[in-house]
Structure 1
Amino acid sequence: MTQEPTLEQRKVIYRARRGLKELDYYIDPYVREHYLTASPDEQATFASLVEEEDPDLLDWFLFNQTPKPAYAELIAKLKQLKADSQ
């Protein structure tokens, strides 16, 4: 992250730390490399996403369950970013 995050962005970054390797695998790279430069709408969607419960996030990221429509595009982006980095 190159720019200094706002207080609200810091809160979202803190909430994004899940402590589950399976979720951190997708979320951490996005936070480090893309979150602060994302559009305000995408940042708001991400902030809402990290408020969701871990079992739901696991289903959406790992078990290909259909996420809530508001999150589908962002989850696909996080998965693609991880795939592209490998």
Structure 2
Amino acid sequence: MIEMPQPKAPADEPRETRIKRLAMRSMRRGIKEMDLILQAFATDRLARMDDAGLDLYDALLEENDHDLYQWVTGQVAPKPQYAELVAEIQTHIARG
């Protein structure tokens, strides 16, 4: 699969625009399962995240979808910096 370059956010990106950008990136992944998982999570959680949380989520979206899927399904432990965020996504999935 060919990886499409993701647009980089401008340094002065307004919060509302950033949330919309992250929501769009959440639903336009390479794997349909990740589209569904991350779109639902983004819809429920992004607006409540602080700037540090948005930074971390933005970085998570840079990761490979196959890795993300293995992390959120518990097949493989996530990178340490994402452990708490992945646990939040897993909890969100479980609540359905």
Normalising by structure 1, report the TM-score: 0.78
Larger fraction in helix: 1
Match of 1:23 among 25, 34, 58: 34
Gaps of 5+ in 2: 1-14
Aligned residue in 1 for 2:43: 32
Q: Which of the two has higher C-alpha Rg? A: 2
Between the aligned residues of both structures, percent identity stands at 27
Normalising by structure 2, report the TM-score: 0.71
| Superposed CA RMSD | 1.8
Taking the aligned partners of 1:8 and 1:15, their CA distance within structure 2 comes to 11
Taking the aligned partners of 2:44 and 2:57, their CA distance within structure 1 comes to 14
Higher relative contact order (CA 8 A, sep 6+): 1
What is the count of residue pairs matched by the alignment? 81
